[in-house]
Structure 1
Amino acid sequence: MPRRGSGNQIRTDDSVRLELLSSGHARQLERFELNNRDFFASRIGDRGDDYFAHFDERLAELVEENRVGTSLLGVLVDPREEVVARVNITDIHQSDSTEIGSRVAKSVQGRGIARTGVRLALELAAAHGVRVVHARVAADNPASRRVLKVCGFEATGPAPSPDGSSRAFTGYVIRLGAETEMPRGEAKDHS
């Protein structure tokens, strides 16, 4: 079981921390997004130049979502204090639209970072009273589908594509209990 850390973090046994997004992550997060922009664009879709032109304003909006409790927007930070992934659970106040999404740096693919991030984010969501979380994954992304399966999600069928994507997506759902501790599965992910 992860140990609760100080402030907005949960520590894991493997030294990757899930931290709720704060303004203190601004430069690390911007560097993460810029360094992986082409990689993410090829797999998820490009955020566009406007995202980076208004990065600080958008970050402030996301931090506010965490503050008021409508979302749990997090970053995974490695021992070098670098952001290596993002894991977001949005709309936690609306059970029919609560959704998890993640993105992992290209440099740490295949090391279980996605699985760790999803697992920790779901544990945090359960602690905040969230009982149902939806996800959607591109049909041509088997690694992310494996991550969801290992973490206990069940496929629900075709799902709408995110804005800006023409790819086919599959929906997933998981039901959380009050004392949710996610499976630790040994399957390797490559996302």
Structure 2
Amino acid sequence: MPELQRLRADHAPALLAFERENRAWFARTISDRGDAYFADFPARHRALLAYQDEGTDHFHVLVADDGTTILGRFNLMDITDGEAELGFRMAESATGQGLATEAAQAVCHLAATTYTLTSLRAQSNLDNLASHTVLTRVGFTVTGETVLRNGAAGRRYVKGLGGPEGRAAGL
């Protein structure tokens, strides 16, 4: 069974492989990271770990049964006043198996319990039916439309995580 893990320094090689192997797949529905992302990957990875240590972001990877291959990323970013943005991406080879929904649910649970957040935001390309499905299955509701960084039309979502009683129940 794949395992959701908090991002660590030793994930760097597998995470870079995940991003490279799925670059064209991701570019179909989200902005391409650009060549500089790959050239500067070691420094970017260290920066993510620093943000995580500061508590402004929490990064997670979904690791395959082999213990090394990364199947997905699930990130809580820009944490402010108990709110964060959920972002995620899955390897093309791992889609259609319910893994994204399970991992997103697990991250929402961590957000409410471990990180004591009260709500999450998300957004996705209008054409990205898979992301819309995952978000609605884990309890996000559509709040409107937006223009994404790549200029594409997108949807905005929100999910309340409840107060202390909701966190105790895993909401």
Q: TM-score, normalised by structure 2?
A: 0.91
2:31 is paired with a residue of what secondary structure? coil
Q: State the match for 1:189 in structure 2.
A: none
Q: Does 1:99 align with 2:85?
A: yes
Q: Quick one: distance in 1 between partners of 2:86 and 2:169?
A: 16
Q: State the match for 1:9 in structure 2.
A: none
Q: How does 1:102-181 map to 2 (within 5 A)?
A: 102-127=88-113, 128-162=115-149, 165-177=150-162, 178-181=167-170
Q: Which runs of 5+ in 2 are unaligned?
A: none
Q: Quick one: distance in 2 between partners of 1:72 and 1:51?
A: 19
Q: Which runs of 5+ in 1 are unaligned?
A: 1-14, 183-191
Q: Quick one: distance in 2 between partners of 1:180 and 1:85?
A: 26
Call closer, same or farther: CA 1:53–1:94 in 2, change over 3 Å: farther
- Indicate the structure with greater strand content: 2
Q: Shift of the alpha carbon at 1:116?
A: 1.3
- Work out the number of aligned pairs and report it: 165
Paired letter, 2:21: N
Deviations 1:138-161 (A, max 9, x none): 111112111111100010011241
Q: How does 1:38-53 map to 2 (within 5 A)?
A: 38-53=24-39
Q: State the match for 2:11 in structure 1.
A: 25
- Indicate the structure with greater helix content: 2
Q: State the match for 1:10 in structure 2.
A: none
Q: State the match for 2:65 in structure 1.
A: 79
Q: State the match for 2:75 in structure 1.
A: 88
Conserved in 1, the CA contact under 8 Å of 2:123 and 2:157?
yes
